[in-house]
Amino acid sequence: MGLMGKGSAQPRVIGVASGKGGVGKTSIAVTLATLFAEEGLRTLLLDADMGLANSQILLGCSVPKHMGHVLEGKASLEEILVQVRPHLHLVPGASGVKSLGALDEAMTHHIIRAFSALERPVDVMIVDIAAGISPSVLTFLKACQQQVIVMKDEFSSIADAYGLVKVLAEDLSLNSMALVPNGVASHSEGERLHAHFSSVCERFFGQGIRLGGVVRQDSWMSEAQRRQQPLIALAPSSQALTDIRHLAEHLYATKLGPLSGDTQFFFERQLTGTVLA
């Protein structure tokens, strides 16, 4: 990708979310993380879908411990990290753990603040967030500097994506959000979908939402899931990977404001210069 400004002092925190499940959110989050790592950026992928975490499945790695162990005081954050590729570490969520599937706002804040103890520098953090508008989803998204909203060209997906943006717009500027139509037939179809969605946002919020990128329908995406391999390893010339690479470039080129609120807790040590190089 030829990204500029690698290894900046301020980490970039990108949340990937969707109004409803089944729209390819996790596949895009995992692929973004692998692409940033491929560029030599120190990348962290947090699977914040705590009850039904599956990033580790798409990456084809085993996770002996997960965030549940951190919350129970049985492991530190450093101890649950899994290096899945050069420059890429996964912070695993849990799958099928009922108590983590219904996190309240206080517990979500506790998870975010646990990152203040992280002892390694990070350039980019991708947060794969559960679908919907639960308190934990909104808390995670508000702690990110950029919010990627993944949507398919289906009525329920469009309606739920709008609901998510509507709730976020109560506390966040639409300037930090980017819409990503996924699984569309062509770039022009994705652009048409974005234009319609953005016009509705402009009508009701007084501001449109920018287009982060369009990801075209590609059988390699489902094949990567089936084989439990990252798309970058299985099909490096696929059109979906090309499209997500453009999304990564767009996100990384976006100018960030100063860190504030919960975002500071993600990387408190790094910002104060006390992390290990």
pLDDT on residue 264: 56
Residue 59, pLDDT above cutoff 60: yes
- Report the alpha-carbon distance of residue 232 to residue 238 in Å, rounded: 9
Exposure of 277 in the CB half-sphere (CA atoms within 13 A):
4
Q: What is the pLDDT of residues 191-230, one digit of tens each?
A: 999 999 999 999 999 999 999 999 999 999 999 999 999 9
Which residues, listed in sequence order, are joined to residue 90 by a DSSP beta bridge?
A: 45, 82
For residue 198, give the 3-state DSSP assignment. Answer: helix
For β-strands 124-128 and 82-85, DSSP reports them as unpaired
- Burial class from Cβ neighbours inside 10 Å (0-12, 13-18, 19+) for residue 232 reads buried
pLDDT on residue 50: 76
Residue 182, pLDDT above cutoff 90: yes
Average pLDDT over the chain reads: 88
Statement: the pTM of the whole predicted model exceeds 0.85: yes
For β-strands 12-17 and 124-128, DSSP reports them as parallel
Residue 270, pLDDT above cutoff 60: no
pLDDT band at 4 (very low <50, low <70, confident <90, very high): very low
Q: What is the pLDDT of residues 144-159, one digit of tens each?
A: 999 999 999 999 999 9
For β-strands 82-85 and 88-91, DSSP reports them as antiparallel
Residue-range domain boundaries for the chain: 12-268
Q: What is the pLDDT of residues 223-263, one digit of tens each?
A: 999 999 999 999 999 999 999 999 999 999 998 876 655 56
CATH dotted code for 12-268: 3.40.50.300
DSSP 172: S
**Token duo for residue 163:** 């609901």
Residues in the chain: 277
CA 120 to chain centre: 20
pLDDT band at 69 (very low <50, low <70, confident <90, very high): confident
- Report the alpha-carbon distance of residue 273 to residue 230 in Å, rounded: 33
Least confident segment among 26-40, 157-171, 261-275: 261-275
For residue 64, give the 3-state DSSP assignment. Answer: coil
- Which residues have a Cβ under 8 Å from the Cβ of 40 and sit 6 or more positions away? 6, 87
- Report the alpha-carbon distance of residue 108 to residue 104 in Å, rounded: 6
